[in-house]
């Protein structure tokens, strides 16, 4: 009698790592989560210690093995994912040169502006994306100018999940989706660009080999197997970025499908059969050959909600229940969620968050709702750009932690005016486990992985009255942003 096979996916996000173990039928067997900090040493800066990610990985794997009772040798394959644009820099002894600059960091604003002015067209032509401070290229340029001693020590550049996997197997590789996040890739040729690397003063030799996300890699190093408890026989798969793994876990694997993400950052991604290059988009390859997922992004989505909770106190469930007692529009109170500047459609790191319209009769409940609506308005700003480009979806799967909140789900459906579906589990770690299943042959295809692992839970239909109300409110939301932007720039 053959033994069951299991698949492990592990994600590394802005505040925690999560692991998901599934069986060959696609059922979730166990999950584990371990928090770690994102550090904010200065205004506009955001960093992570790579060692925190490794400790979280080890803790998650040990918890998964203990809670599931699954024997390590029965885990057929594992794959990792992480937030992109977050480079881990190693020296010649494979030690981190410094903390990784997290993708929400805005310190490279001046370098990004300089690159846009002098060679923005060339960078976009090669990378398929427009320059802003979130990309590794301007971050490296900042490092060369402001921390030259650190920059001179760089021997290897890799993404967070690639760093963890490097410690597991010794393979110095990245996948061709993650590679786009460095803004050092010639996306058309699918290899590192000498021209783009030269702009950062970075030798190409410091960058990893590029593979597809489904690439099978080396077995575990003996010391890694001993430290983590993973079997040396477990197959290690290249993996990819957290966003594409969320898209994948949502079952968006065909042209025209889409996801709306309410997580640390907000994303609306639609699946196309060609790259869509536009200043307001972030464009990446999909896991499936020939597909792409161009998307919009708002920097502080659930991050705004968390900031509000942590700053003013409360629990999410209570905050949402209070917000539900306030009518649409939050009694004329508006929130703009620009805690770290904004990407779509402004590409402006100097925008700031604000509450506008407060009066003496506003309660905390009104502020609670204004935060949810303000983030939704920001997502509407994103959706409008997809409409402009003719690739706005007619329906989408709602993903991210915010998808669990009924009030927020309805606000989003009304705001965008499209049906939003939820599925049983859209965590990126599930997507990585699914990918590991396809790459190892446990699942025969991406379509089989989706059929076994993706299960529809609910459909949220837009309310026509709510959609009309928010369309009027969106016009005012835009006017407030335009009026305050010059003031933000003076702060």
d(CA 128, CA 138): 16
pLDDT over threshold 70, residue 65:
yes
Token pair belonging to 1: 């009698």
Among candidates 178, 399, 106, which has minimal Cα distance to 267? Answer: 399
Q: What is the mean pLDDT of residues 8-19?
A: 94
Which of 39-48, 59-68, 401-410 is modeled with the greatest confidence? 59-68
- How high is the pLDDT of residue 400? 86
Reported confidence tier of residue 484, pLDDT bands at 50, 70, 90: very high
Output DSSP code: residue 87: E
Q: Which residues contact 112 (CB under 8 A, 6 or more apart)?
A: 131, 132, 133, 135, 138, 349
Digit-coded pLDDT (tens) for 166-211 = 999 999 999 999 999 999 999 999 999 999 999 999 999 999 999 9
Question: Helix crossing, 364-389 with 464-490: angle to 10°?
Answer: 90
Which pLDDT score is estimated for 14?
Answer: 84
DSSP assignment of 441-472, as one string? TSSSSHHHHHHHH--EEEEEPPPHHHHHHHHH
Give the pair of three-digit tokens for residue 400: 């991210």
Residues with Cβ within 8 Å of 465's Cβ and at least 6 positions away in sequence, in order, are none
Distances, alpha carbon 54 to alpha carbons 58, 165, 169, 228, 421, in Å? 6, 10, 14, 10, 34
Give the 3-state secondary structure of residue 82: strand
Question: What is residue 1's predicted lDDT score, i.e. its pLDDT?
Answer: 47
Asked whether the CA dihedral 358, 360, 364, 369 is positive or negative, the reply is negative
């Amino acid at each position: 009698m053959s033994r069951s096979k299991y698949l492990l996916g592990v994600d590394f996000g802005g505040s925690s790592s999560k692991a998901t173990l599934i069986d060959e039928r696609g059922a979730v067997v166990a999950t584990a989560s371990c928090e770690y900090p994102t550090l904010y040493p200065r205004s506009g800066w955001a960093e992570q210690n790579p060692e925190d990610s490794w400790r979280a990985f080890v803790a998650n794997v040990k918890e998964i093995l203990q809670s599931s009772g699954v024997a390590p040798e029965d885990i057929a394959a594992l794959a990792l994912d992480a937030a992109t644009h977050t480079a881990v820099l190693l020296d010649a002894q494979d030690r981190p040169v410094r903390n990784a600059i997290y993708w929400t960091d805005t310190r490279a604003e001046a370098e990004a502006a300089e690159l846009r002015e002098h060679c923005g067209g060339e960078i976009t032509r090669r990378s398929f994306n427009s320059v802003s401070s979130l990309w590794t290229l301007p971050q490296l340029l900042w490092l060369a100018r402001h921390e030259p001693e650190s920059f001179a020590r760089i021997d290897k550049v890799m993404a967070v999940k690639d760093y963890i996997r490097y410690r597991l197997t010794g393979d110095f590789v990245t996948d061709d989706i993650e590679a786009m996040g460095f803004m050092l890739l010639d996306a058309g040729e699918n290899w590192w660009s000498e021209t783009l690397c030269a702009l950062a003063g970075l030798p190409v030799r410091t960058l990893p080999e590029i593979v597809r996300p489904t690439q099978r890699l080396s077995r575990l190093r003996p010391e890694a197997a001993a430290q983590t408890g993973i079997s040396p026989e477990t197959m290690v798969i290249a993996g990819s970025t957290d966003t594409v793994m969320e898209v994948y876990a949502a079952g968006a694997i065909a042209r025209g499908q889409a996801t709306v993400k309410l997580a640390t950052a907000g994303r609306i991604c639609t699946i196309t059969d060609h790259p869509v290059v536009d200043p307001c988009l972030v464009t990446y390859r999909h896991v499936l050959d020939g597909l792409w997922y161009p998307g919009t992004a708002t920097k502080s989505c659930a991050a705004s909600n968390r900031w509000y909770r942590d700053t003013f106190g409360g629990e999410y469930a209570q905050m949402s229940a209070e917000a539900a007692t306030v009518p649409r529009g939050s009694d004329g109170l508006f929130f703009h969620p620009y805690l770290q500047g904004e990407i779509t459609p402004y590409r402006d790191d100097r925008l700031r968050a604000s509450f506008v319209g407060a009066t003496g009769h506003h309660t905390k409940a009104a502020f609670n709702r204004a935060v949810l609506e303000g983030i939704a308005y920001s997502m509407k700003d994103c959706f409008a750009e997809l409409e402009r480009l003719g690739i706005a979806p007619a329906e989408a799967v709602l993903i991210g932690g915010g998808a669990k909140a009924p009030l927020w789900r309805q606000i989003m459906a009304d705001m965008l005016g499209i049906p939003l579906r939820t599925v049983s589990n859209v965590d990126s770690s599930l997507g990585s486990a699914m990918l590991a299943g396809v790459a190892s042959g446990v699942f025969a295809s991406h379509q089989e992985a989706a059929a076994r692992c993706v299960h529809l839970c609910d459909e949220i239909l837009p309310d026509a009255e709510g959609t009309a109300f928010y369309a009027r409110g969106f016009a005012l939301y835009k006017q407030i942003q335009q009026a305050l932007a010059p003031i933000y720039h003076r702060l």
